[in-house]
Amino acid sequence: MTMTPESPEGYVWLIDKPQGWTSFDVVNKIRHVTRLKKVGHAGTLDPLATGLLILCGGKMTKQIDQIQGQEKEYICTVKLGVTTASYDAEQPEENIQPVDHITAVAVAQALVAFRGDIEQVPPIFSAVKVDGKRAYKSAREGKSIEMPPRKVTISELELVRYEGPEKVELRIVCSKGTYIRSLARDLGDALGVGGYLSSLRRTRIGAYQVTDALTVDHFSAKWQEDSKEN
């Protein structure tokens, strides 16, 4: 990770985004700390998600599209037997269904259909533009939206842990543009009981690993320390 405050080639920073922050909250914080005008992120994470957020500064902002186009890895938890309008925990639970018959074997078998090249419908609570307007804005206004499907690739999808239908942990390696919230919803539909994404953590983008990332506070302290030394 390039950290030196005087770096003519630009910067690539790996941040472990905390829950509750938007990706732009992180960008604004890093802009404030570094006093750089050119700072951007390479791939949005929803506010409720945590994990790897890649930020580019200075001349490296030109590489954002290249970086965010790389495959991504996530660890997530799906709650079965209930849905939400946003496909995650942002909206209240609804449509509660019995799940006593759901087993780990049934979940593993259902996952098979989602591996490889698939068509996926993004959540209405997303930044996808429909008729020139962000879908989530229309959704929050109570408008009915038809989300066009998109082709995505899920190259790896495995059941990591099964602690009952309320806590199904998955590991996913997928292409740019894949919505893990939609995958959670679709898995619940395939099992006939509904489901939503209860937690999400991004662990990798291309060769960049969250284990090499800094928290926002750690980044701020390190930048200030390096600035004094230079």
Catalytic positions: 46
Residue 80 CB contacts under 8 Å (≥ 6 apart), including other chains: 99, 102, 107, 165, 166, 168, 187, 188, 191, 193, 194, 195
* CA 171 – CA 73 distance, rounded (Å): 7
* CA 145 – CA 137 distance, rounded (Å): 11
Compute CA distances 42 → 57, 58, 170, whole Å.
11, 14, 23
Helices H / strands E in the chain, number of each:
6, 11
Q: Which is it for the CA torsion 94, 196, 127, 60, positive or negative?
A: positive
